[in-house]
Chains A and B, each alone.
Chain A
Amino acid sequence: MMDIASGFMQGLATAMTGEALLFCLIGVTIGTLVGALPGIGAMATISIVLPVTFTLKPLIGLIMLAGIFYGAQYGGSIASILLSIPGMASSAVTCLDGYPMARQGKAGVALLVTSVSSFVGGTVSILLLMLLAPTLAEFALRFSSVEYFLVMFLGLMGSATISSGSPVKGLTMVVLGVALGTVGTDVNSGIFRFTFGTLQLQNGFGFIAVAMGLFGVAEILSNVGKPFAMLVSAKSITVRSMLPSRQEARACVMPTVRGTGLGALFGFIPGAGSTISSYMSYALEKRLAKDPSRFGQGAVEGVAAPEAANNAAVQTSFIPMLSLGIPTDPTLAILMAAMIVHGINPGPQFITEHAPVFWGLVASFWVGNVLLLILNIPFIGLWVRLLSVPYKFLYPAVLFFVAIGVYSINNDPFDVYVAGLIGLGGYLLVGHGYPPAALLIGLVIGPMMEEHLKRAMLMSRGSFSIFLERPISAVLLAVIGLVAASTVVRLYRGRSRLAAPANP
């Protein structure tokens, strides 16, 4: 314990020097901007900024790059709330309740709640990172494709229920997302599926293109011809309007705690930690709420929980990278490459050989989260003012940015076409009550699930009993069984309740 405390104090001293603070601030600011803007994401930004860090001291460069990474999680929620356009996959659930809140004039409240719950989620995770990094890393090692498949299955199951409409529609969108996700290259054989000879589809449908189409284009299309001219009138934006009511504030506490727990737990899941965490925490809150019908209409819990979850997940995702040298995210792989280029090899030796770097980095996470909180709050008023721009100017501008953002991913107009076509299709689906967020998680998780299932089968040489043989997966199977059972029970009870009034 003493080691940890003294290490952290030393790290804090390093992280609070002028140079470190400056670059931390630059990093988190860039991260927030990049997370809020559609298209270019943390990964591309970090690679572009990477050469700049070669001229800096290694720790300072890492602080800035890491700041971009978790800053993007903060920024991702801004566009979700204001415009229902998720900056990244993990912010998609925030649209479900954040956007209705904005339409009710409570955008400021939503943004404030996001900032605070993100801060809580991030900070608690950092604490876990500090205290339990090696233990959590060992725990992460016990997860193999068998367990990952089950966790993702659980995540998908939960996501079918996030929509406020019929769960069948939610499930349909999930399955549609999984179907779209089959397009691309098969891991085990290298065969291209459903690409029809198109080079650009060899990696599948880009998530950003689909998300921008489904959320951005579809939303804008559905607003064409609507009578009201703007979302929020400029007069109604005051400091008072940004603060949540006491009731709302109290309602956020437990969701934030639960979201943090889920995010910290699942952060290390490769490639999808923050996405699965945010979707699952939303589904969990909806299930635990006394009145689930509020979700989707502007329930503040639906904003607090996923945001706490994705920020917690992003911090714990550093654990496998720093303790074991295994990056669970392509963006973390770039960060690792940055460290390697500086001659610092993350891995088991890292914490002992380069203790000052490790503690400096961890302390900078905390400093960065504080900076983000301080940075975001004054800007809330500015962001909300954005909504007072009349639709006839706002939406073409948004469409323009979406197109540029989508193009910027691969410098390829093909992605823009994808966004447009999916947007048209999405407009039809969303208009009939099919939840777009469910399709997104299917698209993101589906291919990964397939990869893990195939690998699990390879590992077991074709025997399904491997799911029961490994302890963690047996537990996960039990959880899946429970969730399925309780869903069925609920549906059955709901039906009998509906039938009851007919019988006197």
Chain B
Amino acid sequence: MKRIVPALMLCAATLVTAFPAAAQGSYPSRPIKWIVPYPPGGGASVAARLVQEEVSAQLGQPIIIENRPGAAGAIGTMEVSRAKPDGYTMVILTTTNVVAPAVNPNWPSDTMKEFVPVATLIENSSILTVNASIPAKTVPELVALLKANPGKYNFGNAGVGGVNHLTTELFKRLTQTEFTQMPYNGTGPMVGDLLAGNVHATFESPEAVMSHIRSGRIRALGVASTTRIPTAPDIPLLPETLPGMVNVSFSGLAAPAGTPRAVVDKMAAAVAAAVKSPAVQQRLRDMGSTGGRLTDDFGRLMQTEIDKWKAVASESKIVVKPQ
């Protein structure tokens, strides 16, 4: 008998705290969750953590980053698309969300329908690099070399169905050349083989290859962008010799469709301010990247990329086909 009353009081106390805090007043009134659909340590997590503190300070509420990896990003993506569109659950979308719909017929998410874009955190374009032993210093030289030796050279990519795989296919189509694609599970091993000479060329993101370009083991032939990289202005622009040879890799914040516009704008403003901060700007420059593209602009970027990769995938007949 003696123990029942305190026990009941303890139960009552815990029950009281279990009632969800009603969202009152202006947004945000409680912590916000950013879901990263990839294992910790990847580009998406780095992007999110880059701005986490500053955005929390701007909004006055903590941003909690949660990794929900699995199914190449599908699990986390689906979780947020089904979440309540109240602005307290958001997702980090990446290039996967614009490429996967093009190559994977079973990709369960319609990026543009299910999400409202908020802002990009990190954006960059791939650099075409070759091993220093390859006798080609410019893109026309490389194309000539490839045409003279069809099937001899290896282009590495960090994953089948990934943006660089598709970019390489785009390159193949635009230059009408023949070479072997060697897929890897991740950038690390691929760059290792590039340095060793087992892979002759690759399209990769700036932060993966910049330090090696500087060391001279690999040579940059061009960047798949219409603007030069500020920290490497001597890398030529690929679209100048190969029109259409453009890609964008990004990590950006998005909210489930139906999230009120005011909420989206408020978050976008906070992210924009965070990205403009000197610390983040410095980091972005170090990574050869930019960031801070907002809402509708971000949406337009994603739509362009989705359409582009759909075309490339169907023409090159790339399908990542589950059983």
Stretch from B11-19, B185-193, B232-240, B259-267 forming part of the interface with A: B185-193
* Cross-chain contact of A324 among B39, B180, B192 (Cβ < 8 A): B192
Q: Which residues of A contact B287 (CB under 8 A)?
A: 340
Q: Which residues of B contact A337 (CB under 8 A)?
A: 41, 46
The residue on B at minimum CB distance from A196 is: B323
Answer whether residue A458 sits at the interface, using C-beta atoms and an 8 A cutoff.
yes
Answer whether residue A473 sits at the interface, using C-beta atoms and an 8 A cutoff.
no
A48 near B322 with CB under 8 A, answer no
B41 near A141 with CB under 8 A, answer no
B192 near A141 with CB under 8 A, answer yes
Considering the complex, which residues of chain B in the window 1-45 have a beta carbon less than 8 Å from any beta carbon of chain A?
39-41, 45
* Cross-chain contact of B323 among A43, A192, A411 (Cβ < 8 A): A192
CB distance from B275 to the nearest CB of A (A): 15
> Contacts A191-B322, A324-B192, A343-B286; is A199 near B215 (CB within 8 Å)?
no
Considering the complex, which residues of chain A in the window 393-412 have a beta carbon less than 8 Å from any beta carbon of chain B?
410-412
> Contacts A199-B74, A347-B215; is A341 near B160 (CB within 8 Å)?
no
A459 near B321 with CB under 8 A, answer no
Stretch from A105-113, A327-335, A364-372 forming part of the interface with B: A327-335
A179-212 interface bits toward B, Cβ cutoff 8 Å, 1 = contact, 0 = none: 0000001011111111111011011000000000
Q: Which residues of B contact A200 (CB under 8 A)?
A: 70-71, 75
> Contacts A202-B70, A345-B210; is A191 near B41 (CB within 8 Å)?
no
In the docked arrangement, what's the CA distance between A28 and B283, Å? 28
> Contacts A47-B40, A349-B211; is A458 near B196 (CB within 8 Å)?
no
Answer whether residue A38 sits at the interface, using C-beta atoms and an 8 A cutoff.
no
In the docked arrangement, what's the CA distance between A51 and B51, Å? 10
B160 near A188 with CB under 8 A, answer yes
Considering the complex, which residues of chain A in the window 472-489 have a beta carbon less than 8 Å from any beta carbon of chain B?
none
Q: Which residue of B67, B180, B188, B198 has the most chain A CB atoms within 10 A of its CB atom?
A: B188
Answer whether residue A159 sits at the interface, using C-beta atoms and an 8 A cutoff.
no
Q: Which residues of B contact A343 (CB under 8 A)?
A: 282-283, 286
In the docked arrangement, what's the CA distance between A331 and B188, Å? 11
The residue on A at minimum CB distance from B285 is: A343
Answer whether residue B84 sits at the interface, using C-beta atoms and an 8 A cutoff.
no
A42-62 interface bits toward B, Cβ cutoff 8 Å, 1 = contact, 0 = none: 011011101100100000000
Considering the complex, which residues of chain A in the window 314-346 have a beta carbon less than 8 Å from any beta carbon of chain B?
320, 324-328, 330-331, 333-334, 337, 340-341, 343, 345-346
B189-203 interface bits toward A, Cβ cutoff 8 Å, 1 = contact, 0 = none: 101110110100000
Q: Which residues of A contact B186 (CB under 8 A)?
A: 330, 333
In the docked arrangement, what's the CA distance between A330 and B182, Å? 20
Answer whether residue A270 sits at the interface, using C-beta atoms and an 8 A cutoff.
yes
CB distance from A466 to the nearest CB of B (A): 11
In the docked arrangement, what's the CA distance between A404 and B104, Å? 33
Q: Which residues of A contact B49 (CB under 8 A)?
A: 50-51, 54
CB distance from A346 to the nearest CB of B (A): 7
Q: Which residues of B contact A327 (CB under 8 A)?
A: 188
Q: Which residue of A54, A203, A334, A455 has the most chain B CB atoms within 10 A of its CB atom?
A: A455
CB distance from A216 to the nearest CB of B (A): 23
A345 near B211 with CB under 8 A, answer yes
In the docked arrangement, what's the CA distance between A411 and B69, Å? 9
Answer whether residue A497 sits at the interface, using C-beta atoms and an 8 A cutoff.
no
CB distance from A380 to the nearest CB of B (A): 32
- Residues of B in contact with A, size category: 35 or more
B211-239 interface bits toward A, Cβ cutoff 8 Å, 1 = contact, 0 = none: 11011010000000000000000000000
A-B residue pair count with CB separations less than 8 angstroms: 146
CB distance from A261 to the nearest CB of B (A): 24
CB distance from B116 to the nearest CB of A (A): 24
Q: Which residues of B contact A190 (CB under 8 A)?
A: 103-104, 159-161, 320-321
In the docked arrangement, what's the CA distance between A410 and B45, Å? 15
The residue on A at minimum CB distance from B187 is: A333
> Contacts A43-B41, A199-B74, A458-B154; is A341 near B283 (CB within 8 Å)?
yes
In the docked arrangement, what's the CA distance between A43 and B210, Å? 25
* Cross-chain contact of B198 among A203, A326, A459 (Cβ < 8 A): A459
B53 near A199 with CB under 8 A, answer no
Q: Which residues of A contact B195 (CB under 8 A)?
A: 141, 324, 326
Q: Which residues of A contact B67 (CB under 8 A)?
A: 44, 47
Q: Which residues of B contact A388 (CB under 8 A)?
A: none
B50 near A326 with CB under 8 A, answer no
Answer whether residue B207 sits at the interface, using C-beta atoms and an 8 A cutoff.
yes
Q: Which residues of B contact A143 (CB under 8 A)?
A: 196
Answer whether residue B68 sits at the interface, using C-beta atoms and an 8 A cutoff.
yes
The residue on B at minimum CB distance from A415 is: B70
> Contacts A46-B41, A187-B184; is A325 near B75 (CB within 8 Å)?
no
A333 near B188 with CB under 8 A, answer yes
The residue on B at minimum CB distance from A332 is: B188
Q: Which residues of A contact B154 (CB under 8 A)?
A: 458-459
Q: Which residues of A contact B46 (CB under 8 A)?
A: 337, 341
> Contacts A51-B53, A320-B192, A324-B195; is A330 near B41 (CB within 8 Å)?
yes
Q: Which residues of A contact B192 (CB under 8 A)?
A: 141, 270, 320, 324, 326, 328
- 10 nearest interchain CB pairs? A47-B40, A334-B41, A190-B320, A347-B211, A348-B215, A190-B160, A192-B322, A345-B211, A199-B71, A326-B192
Q: Which residues of A are at the interface with B, using a C-beta cutoff of 8 A? A: 43-44, 46-48, 50-51, 54, 141-145, 185, 187-197, 199-200, 202-203, 270, 320, 324-328, 330-331, 333-334, 337, 340-341, 343, 345-350, 410-412, 451, 455, 458-459, 461
Can you list 18 pairs linking A and B with CB atoms under 8 Å apart? A44-B40, A47-B45, A51-B49, A51-B53, A141-B195, A185-B72, A189-B321, A190-B161, A190-B321, A191-B322, A199-B75, A203-B70, A326-B189, A333-B186, A340-B286, A341-B283, A345-B211, A461-B180
Besides A144-B193, A200-B70, A330-B41, 14 new A-B residue pairs in contact (Cβ under 8 A), listed by A number: A142-B196, A189-B321, A190-B320, A192-B322, A202-B72, A330-B186, A334-B40, A334-B41, A341-B46, A343-B286, A349-B211, A349-B214, A412-B75, A455-B184
